[in-house]
Amino acid sequence: MRHVPILARTRHPFGDWRFAIKTIAAMWALYLATVAIRAWLQGDMLGVLVPRLPMVVSGIILTVCIYLVIQSVEEGAGTRRRALIASIASLVAAIAQALVVIAAAPLMQDREAKYKIQAREGAVIVQKGREITIERNSGEQPLVFTLPRIDELDELEKARIAADAAVVWLFFFAAWSAVYIAGVSSGQVAGARRRAAEAEAAAHAAQVRALRYQVNPHFLFNTLNSLSSLVMSGRSQQAENMLMALSTFFRTSLSLDPGASVSLKEEIGLQRLYLDIEKARFPERLNVEIDVPEEVEESQVPALILQPIIENAIKYGVSATRAPVTISIKAQPLADGRLQIDIVNSAPPGAKMREDRKRPAGTGTGLTNVCQRLEAHFGGRADCRFGPVDNGYRVSIAMPFDTKLEGEDD
């Protein structure tokens, strides 16, 4: 299956239609709710609601048309341009809605609800459709007036009524457009942030994996060299022991997720396997001291973070002298809430480099790899220091003291 990068995905032209339908339904439901409350207060539900149904139907259709016009704007257009297009579309829709009101008025005027008002002088004014009745308390006959139908008015009056109606509906359509554009823009911003976070996480994971995979070829090359030396010198038993240890080490280490963390106890266990391999090569010259208190054993560290450090200690310490070399691994909690691990390779005072060998030239891959992996995992919360000490070399790394597994919820 071909993978499509996140940042290359394009927006579907009507991908937000569900949101549009919900907002359209919500706006017109709110309009009908206000009309229904008014009808309930007047006591004439049908008389208020029925005349407005044509406006509701035409209004929904016009709102959908505004949505289609907004969708016609090309992808990537700014919010201001969308707002301008929506404003123009809302104005056109408001004028169209006003014309619907003018056209439907002659059919609906006679169905309007009855309105009754008590005047200060005591008269009661009643309006039912186009008919206005004034009932007086003096017992006189009521006065009845009939208003002209809208289609009987002159063009100027019709234009005035249409303009008044257009202003009212303009605010309604503009309000929906503002809600819709704001919602879509908010969703786009959230989506962009989510995609950026996903891209950053993917880049971080790729960096961690790349740094981790630098270790394996380096270690395998040196280990196979050691195995070759044992075979060439006829030490078959030591070679067999090394092969068994090598098999166990690779079976354990390669089963780990390159970007995962392991407990310090597990990491030390892996390094014991590696040191067993090297002890088969240097049975009399390699001593190992490990001091890891129980209180820090469950602290999480990047998998195989100690591997290149110990590998360098073997390469530049044990291999470079005939004297016995002690490699010590010590872990301790710090007062600032971090875990410090020190790896020291030391020879007895006065030990000299082997005359039959030159000091191997390093490429800087090992310690650079460790420092970069710590930076990728922990940022500025970790540090890596190294340098010569009396009769040896020390590497000291510090990282957050955290016993929570990666991916575990708070």
Taking every pair of Cα atoms in the chain, the longest distance, rounded to a whole number of angstroms, is 136
**pLDDT of 120:** 67
Is 286 in contact with 325 (CB distance < 8 Å)? yes
Closest Cα partner for 347 from 390, 309, 289? 390
The answer as to whether 1 is a domain residue is no
> Is residue 88 located within the same domain as residue 165?
yes
Range of the domain at 362: 235-400
The answer as to whether 297 is a domain residue is yes
The answer as to whether 359 is a domain residue is yes
When comparing pLDDT for 29 and 234, which is higher? 29
CA distance 372 to 278: 26
> Is residue 241 located within the same domain as residue 182?
no
Against a cut of 0.85, is the pTM above it?
Answer: no
Domain limit, last residue, from 168, 196, 224: 196
The answer as to whether 246 is a domain residue is yes
> Is residue 180 located within the same domain as residue 240?
no
Closest Cα partner for 112 from 48, 67, 25, 177? 48
> Is residue 73 located within the same domain as residue 165?
yes
> Is residue 75 located within the same domain as residue 159?
yes
Is 183 in contact with 23 (CB distance < 8 Å)? yes
The answer as to whether 132 is a domain residue is no
Q: At 384, which helix (H) or strand (E)?
A: strand 383-389
The answer as to whether 292 is a domain residue is yes
CA distance 227 to 235: 10
Q: Where are the beta strands (DSSP E) in 256-346?
A: 261-263, 286-291, 300-302, 325-333, 338-346
What's the mean pLDDT when you consider all of the chain?
77
> Is residue 169 located within the same domain as residue 284?
no
Among positive and negative, which fits the CA dihedral 54, 57, 61, 67? positive
Is 8 in contact with 72 (CB distance < 8 Å)? no
- Tens digit of each residue's pLDDT (9 = 90 or more) over 81-134: 888 999 999 999 999 998 888 877 766 655 555 666 766 666 777 766 666 777
Q: Return the CATH number at 381.
A: 3.30.565.10
First to last CA, the chain: 35
> Is residue 253 located within the same domain as residue 160?
no
- The two beta strands, 124-128 and 143-146, are unpaired
Closest Cα partner for 183 from 26, 291, 51, 7? 26
> Is residue 301 located within the same domain as residue 372?
yes
With a cut of 60, say whether residue 292 has pLDDT above it. yes
Residue 363 phi/psi, 5° resolution?
-95, -10
When divided into structural domains, the chain yields a total of: 2
- Tens digit of each residue's pLDDT (9 = 90 or more) over 322-335: 788 999 999 999 99
> Is residue 289 located within the same domain as residue 384?
yes
> Is residue 165 located within the same domain as residue 267?
no
Is 296 in contact with 329 (CB distance < 8 Å)? no
> Is residue 180 located within the same domain as residue 297?
no
The answer as to whether 13 is a domain residue is yes
The answer as to whether 117 is a domain residue is no
Residue 127 phi/psi, 5° resolution?
-120, 130
Q: Which residue has the tokens 């993978």?
A: 3
> Is residue 271 located within the same domain as residue 172?
no
Is 111 in contact with 129 (CB distance < 8 Å)? yes
